[in-house]
Amino acid sequence: MTVESVSPQSPQSPATPAAPSPELREPPLAGGAVPVLGHGLRLARDPLAFMSGLREHGDVVRLKLGPKTVYAVTTPALTGALALSPDFKIDGPLWESLEGLLGKEGVATANGPRHRRQRRTIQPAFRLDALPGYGPVMEEEAHALTERWQPGSTVDCTSESFRVAVRIAARCLLRGEYMDERAERLSTDLATVFRGMYRRMVIPLGPLYRLPFPANREFNRALADLHLLVDEIVAERRASGQKPDDLLTALLEAKDDNGDPIGEQEIHDQVVAILTPGSETVASTIMWLLQVLAEHPEHAEKVRTEVESVTGGRPVGFEHVRSLTHTNNVVVEAMRLRPAVWILTRRAVTDTVLGGYRIPAGADIVYSPYAIQRDGRSYARPLDFDPDRWLPERARDVPKYAMSPFSVGNRKCPSDHFSMTQLSLITAAVSAKYRFEQAGGSDDTTRVGITLRPHDLLLRAIPW
């Protein structure tokens, strides 16, 4: 299994941005704007349907969000062009709200030379040849998950998915026994922080969040504990005098462009910037995978049969993952229909061009992997859950950039292989032992937040 399976190649190339010429047009205004609020209400009410409908209005469209103009790109080729062009950087409302809470000096929000240097520091920990070193932890955590569940009992998929995602990221990347206890704290804190961050992003009423309401107090407590935890992890590693070959050592030993050690704040922000995107995204995807196994028992059965034939009935391990073709395709198809990262933004650093339209310097541009990955122009029967569409002979027909859940270009997720490996391993381990049914009170409708996940997925885990 490789992540290439989720980024099919085709002869199409993105429309490379070029210097704007004065006669270039403005992109058309998307339909449905109302006075004063523009498209804001429709976007707030049903963001997924809104983003999915934009391609009807053009390849690049203008949106009015109150007084502000935002641009949206709607075709796979143009999302590739946007992500690959140096004319756009990470910025805009999403990033500003993240920076304010999580720090300005981490890799996910930095730009320019600092970002390049930081990517060089973290990249080795995510390389393909580093993965076998994480195998034992991933296996242990995947099997521990199935052992925690009592046969026939109801599984709270939200907390279980968060827990395993945080434990794997923390134990693999920041190695150390102390992580076992800390991972629990981390997962509770992160769940609260993400909930609050999304609220602050969609309802940006700054002063309201300083009032002593219970939700604000809980958010502040979780955020403070998250930062405290990171300080504790760094301090303990230093006090231990040990330098295992892991991401934390790489961060502690990193040098800036002058060859001087990087500052304490940057070390701190870097740990936060790796743990935060690393947990919510994986946790949401695990929730959707469990939901898919319950909704499509025929694929759950097929995964189980595949795992059994590949492992010969032994516990599934890291070394089996590459051979689990159908399991991997189930993971990719779940990520196509429910991409954890459903919206991405960039800001133009210069006057530039996208799809033949003028984009002014400073403009915010958005696109939705959710909309792109469900578009009938790229996929036959786009809403069907059909893992076999990722068989090599069919995957060839998928247009380039129509399936890029980890993005492309210099901001591409460093963790694509790391994530795909753990997702396949977890899917295989739980499917080998259980089939799933919705339990009473379960609500698997889509909850739109910083990521997409089911509102409250409760499943009964039934032994085969």
Residue nearest to ligand HEM (CB): 278
Nearest CB to ligand HEM, comparing residues 7 and 192: 7
State the minimum distance, in angstroms, from the CB of residue 126 to ligand HEM: 8
Nearest CB to ligand HEM, comparing residues 120 and 221: 120
Nearest CB to ligand HEM, comparing residues 15 and 340: 340
In the complex, which residues of this chain contact ligand HEM (CB under 6 A)? 90, 107-108, 119, 169, 173, 273-274, 277-278, 281-282, 285, 340-341, 344, 405-407, 411, 413-415, 418-419
Nearest CB to ligand HEM, comparing residues 57 and 428: 428
DSSP state of 411: G
State the minimum distance, in angstroms, from the CB of residue 460 to ligand HEM: 25
Nearest CB to ligand HEM, comparing residues 65 and 173: 173
State the minimum distance, in angstroms, from the CB of residue 29 to ligand HEM: 25
State the minimum distance, in angstroms, from the CB of residue 21 to ligand HEM: 28
CA distances in angstroms from 226 to 94, 132, 232, listed in the order given = 20, 29, 10
Nearest CB to ligand HEM, comparing residues 155 and 173: 173
State the minimum distance, in angstroms, from the CB of residue 418 to ligand HEM: 6
State the minimum distance, in angstroms, from the CB of residue 426 to ligand HEM: 11
